[in-house]
Amino acid sequence: MTSLDRASVSTLKGVGPALAEKLQRLGITTLADILFHLPLRYEDRTRVTPIGRARPGTSVVVEGDVIDCRVDYGGRRSLVAHLRDDTGLMVLRFYHFSAAQQRNLQQAGRIRCFGEVRPGKTGFEIYHPEYTKAGAGLDDALTPIYPATDGLTQARMRSLVAQVLELMDKGGLLPELLPADAGAPEPGINDAVRLVHRPPPDVDIVAMETGTHPAQRRLAFEELLAHQISMRLVREEISLLSSHPLAPPGAIVGNFIGNLGFSLTQAQQKVSEEIAHDMAQSVPMLRLLQGDVGAGKTVVAAIAALQAVENGLQAAIMAPTEILAEQHFVNFSNWLAPLGITATFLSGKVKGKKRNEQLALIESGTAAIVIGTHALFQKDVNFRALGLVIIDEQHRFGVHQRLALREKGEQAGRFPHQLVMTATPIPRTLTMSLYADMDCSIIDQLPPGRSPVITSVVADTRREQVIERVRAACGSGAQAYWVCTLIEESDVMQSQAAETTAAQLAESLPGLRIALVHGRMTPAAKTDIMNRFKQGQVDLLVATTVIEVGVDVPNASLMIIENPERLGLAQLHQLRGRIGRGERQSYCVLLYHGPLGAAGKARLNVIRESNDGFLIAEEDLRIRGPGEVYGSRQSGSVTYRIADLARDTDLIRDAGETALALLARDRGAA
Ligand code: ADP
Ligand code: MG
C-alpha cells in the first residue's frame, strides 16, 4: 500500500485531467491533500434541537407549529413566520417569497426546519430555512460542508473524501511524521483526519463547530509546526548566502536627515541602527519593520535606500498598488532632488518608449532608487547592482513574489538585503512564532505633535446627524472620507453599494464636491481621483476599503465608516490611520448597524478607546471568541488552512518550541 501522501488524485475514480487541474489550483495534488482539505463547518441534521436551546451561529433542525405568517414591511420587505415548540419561539424570515408560499406556510401546521440561527430584533431568526413536514427522517452523522470553490461541488468533494477514507480502511495511511514525544495533541494524524471528515453522531458538536476538538487541534498543530520548521529552514538557507556588506551611513544620509525639517523619533533612530547593522553583514538582511500607520516607516526606508546608494548600489522599493507606488515616488523625488539622486518609476502603466527608457536607466545603474509595483520584477527588468529590496505593506505580497524579487537581485552569487514593512501590527505574543523567518524591528512611537483621532460609535439610526457633521466639517475647509463596507467579498457588490451611497450623499449634500473611488475602477481612474482629493479639489471621498493602505492626505480630518461591525479591528485601525495626519483635530465615526451583540460592542469600544495598533491587535485576539475568528487564518506571508491564529494561540507557542527542539535534534544526529 503506497502512502497517501505520494499517490496522486488522478488514481481516484472520476478524476480526469480537467478535475485534476481544478484540484491542483486548490493546492490538491495527492490523496493526503484531499484529507487536509478540511470541512469549513458541519451541519447537524442528526437530531431536533429544542428552540429554546438553539444558539446563534449554528445550524439546527427545529420542529414546531407555525403560529402566524405575515409580510413585514419594516426595512426590507420580508415574509415572517413564527415557529413555536414547548421551549420557545423562532422567527422564520424570507426575503424572497411568493403569495403561494405565504398561503402554504399559514396553513402548514407543524413543520421541521433547517437553517442557521442568527440574532434578530425580537429573538433568534432563521433566514430562508429549508422546511418539510414534521417527523421526516434524520441523518446519522454530521454533514461536513467543504469550502466552496468554482466547479467543485459539495457532492464531488464528499465523494473524493469517501474514496480516500475507504483506502484508509484498507490500510492506506498518512505517515506519522512526529516523534511520540513531540508534544503534539492526541489523537494521531490518521485518526484525526478520519474524525474531521466523518464526525460520529456522539461527537462533541460544539467543539467541532468551534474548531476546538482534539482532532482539529492535532491537525492545526501539525500545520503550524510545518510552517515553523519551513520558515526556520528558509532562514538557515539565507544565512548561507552572501550579500553586499555596506559601509555605515555617511554624508548623503546625513544630508537627507538634515533636510527633513524634523528630527527622527528615538524609535526611528533605533530601527535605523538595527537596519544599518544588518546591512553591514555579508549575509543578506531579512528584516520586518512593523510600525503603526503614520509612525514614519517611509523615512526609515529612505535612509536604508540611501545607505545602499552611498555604497554604489541600487535600491528597489515595491508597493502593492499604483497609488501607493506613485505616492512613494513623489515623496522620494522631493527628498532626493536636493541630493542630486535620481528616482525612477516603473509600474504596469508605464509602457512603450517611456518604459524602455526606464529599463535602460535601471540597467545602467543611473536609476539609483527604483520605485514601483510588482512590475519591478518582470523578466525584462535588469538591475545593474541591486543592494536592497524594500517591500511596503507586505501582507499584499505573497512569499513567492518576495522570493522572486530576491532571485532577481542576485548577481555573481550575491543577494540583496531585504526590508519588509508592514502597518498591520501583530500581537507581540505572536511575532516571534509568526515571523520566525525574519528579524523584527518595531517603531513603537509616533512622531511628536500628533493629537490622536477622536473616535465615536454611533448607530445608523442617527445617519442624518452624521451627514450634518460632514457638511459642517467640509464647510470649514476640512476634507472627509465616507467608507462603505459590505459583508460580501465581491468587488462588484462593494462597488455598487458605494455608488448608491455616493448618489444619496450627493443628494443630501448638494454644496459639496463628492467623488467616488472603488475597486472596480481602473488603476488610472483611481489614481486620478485620489490625486484630486489630495489636491483639495474634492471635499468628500466616498470609498470602499481600497483606501485602506498608506494613502496620505493630511487635510482629511473626518472619516465615517459604515458598518464597522463587519470589519476586523486591525482593518478598522488601518482605515482610521488615513486621518489624523495633519494639523486639525481628526474625528472618526463608526456608524454601526444594530443590534450589536456584547462582543460586537466590546470590539468597537476597543477602537474608540485606543489608537495603539499593537494594543488593538492584542485585544482583537482576546475578544474574538471561537466562531468569530473569520479572517484570522491569514497573517503576514502565511496563510493557514487549518490553524486559526486567534483561536490556536497556545498551539502556536507549542509548535514554535517543538520546531526548535526537532531541528536541534536533527542537527545533533547529523
Ligand atoms: P507610515 O508609512 O509609517 O505610515 P509615513 O512614513 O508615511 O508613515 O509618515 C507619516 C507622516 O509623518 C509623513 O508625512 C512623514 O513625513 C511624517 N514624519 C515621519 N517621521 C517624522 C518625525 N520624526 N517627525 C515628524 N514627522 C514625521
Ligand atoms: Mg506607509
Q: Best mutation site among 262, 443, 575 for ligand 1, i.e. most ligand atoms within 8 A of its Cβ?
A: 262
Counting ligands in written order, the one closest to the CA of 291 is 1
Long-range contacts of 30-34 (CB under 8 A, 24+ apart): 30/4, 30/5, 30/6, 31/4, 31/5, 31/7, 31/164, 31/167, 31/172, 32/4, 32/5, 32/174, 33/9, 34/9, 34/160, 34/161, 34/164
The pLDDT value recorded for residue 542 is 94
Phi-psi region of 294 (alpha: psi -120 to 50; beta: other; left: phi over 0): left
Amino acid at site 75? G
536: helix, coil or strand?
coil
d(CA 195, CA 215): 7
Amino acid at site 514? I
d(CA 232, CA 177): 18
Ligand 1 near 208 CB (within 6 A): no
Contact in structure between 318 and 405 (CB atoms under 8 Å): yes
Contact in structure between 558 and 512 (CB atoms under 8 Å): no
User: Which atom of ligand 1 approaches the CA of 295 most closely?
Assistant: 3
Buried residues in 548-562 as b, exposed as e (16+ CB within 10 A): bbbbbbebbbbbbbb
Q: Best mutation site among 270, 299, 553, 614 for ligand 1, i.e. most ligand atoms within 8 A of its Cβ?
A: 299
The pLDDT value recorded for residue 433 is 64
315: helix, coil or strand?
strand
The pLDDT value recorded for residue 633 is 40
The list of the chain residues with pLDDT below 70 reads 1-2, 148-150, 393-406, 425, 428-430, 432-434, 486-494, 546-550, 621, 623-640, 646, 669-670
Which residue has cell 477602537?
607
d(CA 606, CA 564): 12
Q: What is the pTM of this model?
A: 0.68
Amino acid at site 522? T
Ligand 1 near 417 CB (within 6 A): no
Alpha carbon of 392 to ligand 2 centroid (Å): 7
Buried residues in 12-25 as b, exposed as e (16+ CB within 10 A): beebeeebeebbee
| C-alpha torsion angle, residues 107, 112, 114, 116 (rounded to 10) | 70
| C-alpha torsion angle, residues 241, 247, 252, 256 (rounded to 10) | 70
Buried residues in 322-335 as b, exposed as e (16+ CB within 10 A): bbbbbbbbbbbbeb
The pLDDT value recorded for residue 458 is 95
**Which DSSP state fits 48?**
B
Measure the CA angle with vertex 40, ends 601 and 619; round to 5°. 30
Phi, psi torsion values for 412, nearest 5 degrees? 45, 45
Alpha carbon of 299 to ligand 1 centroid (Å): 7
Ligand 1 near 268 CB (within 6 A): yes
Q: Best mutation site among 257, 259, 289, 298 for ligand 1, i.e. most ligand atoms within 8 A of its Cβ?
A: 298
146: helix, coil or strand?
coil
The pLDDT value recorded for residue 400 is 56
d(CA 98, CA 90): 21
CA 571 to centroid of chain Cα atoms: 8
